[in-house]
Amino acid sequence: MNMLSQSLHTSFPVLSPNLSSRDIVLSQRSFRSVSDFQKAKKEGRKISMLSVYDAIYSRLAVEAGVNTLLVGDSVAMALYGFESTIHATVEMIAPHVEAVRRTCPGIFLVADLPFGSYRKGLKAAMKAVEALARAGASAVKLEGVAGNEKIVSHIVESGIPVMGHLGLTPQHALALGGYKAQGRTEKGASRILEDAKKLEDLGAFSLVLECVSRRLGSQTSSQLSIPVIGIGAGAEADGQVLVAYDILGLSLGRTPRFVRRYLDGRALVLKAFEEFFQQIDRAEYPSEAESYS
Ligand code: KIV
C-alpha cells in the first residue's frame, strides 16, 4: 500500500464487509460448537447465554465473557414494539442474525425459528432454517415438541443443530392462557420432563426451559444428558439465559420475576436525552470545541 492510499484508508471509512468485526476477540469462554455445550455440562460449568439483536450488545456480551448468543424472537417485542413474539418472522429475524454474526464471527449463535415457520410442513420449515443458517446462525431454536417431532429430526439430519424450548413457550401464550409458570401440577411437570427426554432422543443438543419450578428445572437437568438452559427455571439448570434489554432495564412493559436488572438503562438513557435537548434549548450545544473553524 503506498503513502497516498494508506492516508486515504486512515482518513475515510473503508467499505469492507468485515469492518465492524475486525478486532473482536473471542475468549476461552466463547463457545464455538455444539461440543462446547456438552463439555460444559460434563465438567459442571454453568452456561451463559444472552438474547441480543444487534452489533453493539452482541459485541459487548462477547467482550464481557458470555458463552453463547441467541437472536430470539423476543426481538419482535423488544425492538419492534409488538405485544407478543407471534409477530416475529424470518424476514424480521434474519437481518439481526446477520448483524450479530458480522460483529461476532466464530461465536456459537442460535436463532429462533419464528411462529408459524415450522408448522407448515417440512419444506417450509427447511426454507426458514436455510434462511437463518445462511444469515449466520449456528443452530436454530424451536418451541414445543408435540407435532414437531419429524421437523426436529429432519433439521438435525440436515446438519443444523436444534435447541428445544419447553415450559412457558411464548409462541403458545394464547393457548397457555398468558405468561405464567408451567408444570405446576404433577401431570404438567411429568409432561414437560417427558417432552424434554423426547427432544433429547430426537437429537436436540440443548434446550431452554422457561418459567417452571426450581424442582422441575433441577430434575430436568439431572435426568438429561444434554444441557438445560433455564430462564426462570431455578439455579440448578445447566445454564441461564436472559434478554439483554431486560437485564439492562431497557424493556417496555411488565418485567417477569426471574429477570434481574443489572442497570436502570431506561433512567440513564432518558437523562442523557433530556440533557441533550435542554442544552440545545439553552444553546449550550455545540460548544466552540465541537464546532469547525
Ligand atoms: O426470544 C428470546 O429471546 C428467547 C429467550 C428469552 C430464551 O427465547
Determine what percent of the chain is predicted with pLDDT higher than 70: 92
Grid coordinates standing for 246? 431486560
Burial of 199 (0-12, 13-18, 19+ CB in 10 A): buried
Q: Tell me how far apart the alpha carbons of residues 159 and 157 are, in angstroms, rounded to a whole number.
A: 5
In sequence order, the 6+-apart residues with CB closer than 8 A to the CB of 60 are: none
* pLDDT tens profile 3-41: 433 433 444 444 455 545 456 889 999 999 999 999 999
What pLDDT is stored for residue 22 in this prediction? 59
Q: What is the mean pLDDT of the chain?
A: 93
Q: State whether the beta carbon of 74 lies less than 6 angstroms from ligand 1.
A: yes
**pLDDT at 5 (0 to 100):** 39
The 10s digit of each residue's pLDDT in 80-109 is 999 999 999 999 999 999 999 999 999 999
234 in contact with ligand 1, CB cutoff 6 A = no
How do residues 154-207 score in pLDDT, each as one tens digit? 999 999 999 999 999 999 998 888 899 999 999 999 999 999 999 999 999 999
Q: What is the pTM of this model?
A: 0.92
Question: Which DSSP letter does residue 19 get?
Answer: G
Determine the Cα–Cα distance for residues 58 and 51; give it in Å rounded to an integer. 9
pLDDT at 256: 93
pLDDT of residue 226: 98
Q: 271 is written with which cell numbers?
A: 437523562
21-262: CATH topology: TIM Barrel (3.20.20)
Average pLDDT of the segment spanning 276-290? 98
Catalytic residue among 210, 236, 288, 290: 210
Residue 76 CB–ligand 1 contact under 6 Å? no
Does the active-site annotation cover 210? yes
Residue-wise pLDDT for 55-74, tens only, equals: 999 999 999 999 999 999 99
> What amino acid occupies position 169?
T
